[in-house]
Amino acid sequence: MSELMKARPIFNKSGDDSVQNRKIIKGETTGIFNLNEVKYSWAKNMYQVMVGNFWLPEKVKGLSDDATMFKGLNPAEQRAYKGVISFLTFLDSLQTVNLPHFSDYITSPEVNLILSIQSYQEAIHSQSYATILETVVSAQEREEIYYFWREDKTLLERNAYIGDLYQQFLDTPNDENFFVAIVANYLLESLYFYNGFAFFDTLVYNQKMIATGRMISYIRRDELTHVTIFANIIKEIKNEFPEMYSEKVIVDMTKIAVEQEIQWTNHILGDDIEGITKGSTEIYTKWLANQRMLSLGISPIYPDIIKSPYKHLEHMEDNNGEKTNFFESTVVNYTQSSSMKGSWDF
């Protein structure tokens, strides 16, 4: 078993913050946020995007209309709506609590900075789900949704698997467990949310639960930046600590994640949602896994899957670029770039 890693000290008076000696992990930082000298330019770029994406769930309008619309959903749609929100709530709850544990071992101030913003965004996402539930469903249903995993074996197994990977590193913080936890985080951010997002996007496409979909579009925009953060962390580990890096671990964990995601999505959506089938779920999940591997410089795991089956949702994939959701024009632009000046400005 590899030696235990050491969390960075709060203050290290003998540390060295110079760019030439800065490392993604296991560096000797002083603990001071010297952001005038930056080694990882991608972190600076991500900071600009993440701060520019600032939003608040309370500012998204129309949830009262969704409360009325929810009563008109068929039973399969209502069950899926509640089950998907339960899982997404768990994911963002886990991230809010766990991200600071990762940051304890990151020894680059610019990367620590964006991880703190990510943690804040994950908390905002949890508040978003609370805002949705407070408006759309009854108090009894809210309690059932938060603790759906107590009654649903498939969701319990899913949640426990993710939580156990993180806990494994907290209990034994060695190199191997750290890398596994980082990969788990990448897969959580890049795979586990997206069949749920596709469900809400499909409802919106069918003119249902428009405000919920609007909220989800902002959450998805944030999550895509989180995918980029951890893809870059993995690539920096490969570059600086090749002995820790394992493509086999990444591929093996991705295959498990894909199978779990397909199983869960088929369990909660199945063939009962207009526009989504068990077949489309399998193709979409494997296609998405291929895209996530390519982001890490790894060959597609499923080479026969080359296209997403959800062509009707393509215009709903990117809120930062030229493509926007068809309902996007009704949402306030929260970009705060005018207040961000200096060397980290927009």
The catalytic residues are 129
Using CA of residue 65, residue 68, residue 73, residue 78, what is the dihedral sign?
Answer: positive
Cα(205)–Cα(201) distance, rounded to whole angstroms?
6
List, in sequence order, the alpha helices (H) in the chain. Answer: 41-52, 63-71, 75-103, 109-136, 139-146, 153-171, 175-187, 194-205, 210-240, 247-268, 278-295
Cα(112)–Cα(24) distance, rounded to whole angstroms?
10
Q: Is 297 helix (H, G, I), strand (E, B) or coil?
A: coil
Residue type, 325: N
Query: Which helix (DSSP H) or strand (DSSP E) does residue 324 occupy?
Result: none
Residue type, 300: P
Cα(204)–Cα(209) distance, rounded to whole angstroms?
6
Using CA of residue 90, residue 189, residue 153, residue 270, what is the dihedral sign?
Answer: positive
Residues near 157 by Cβ (< 8 Å), separated by ≥ 6?
none
223 and 193 Cβ atoms separated by less than 8 Å: yes
Cα(44)–Cα(32) distance, rounded to whole angstroms?
17
222 and 121 Cβ atoms separated by less than 8 Å: yes
- Residue 269 CB coordination number (10 Å): 25
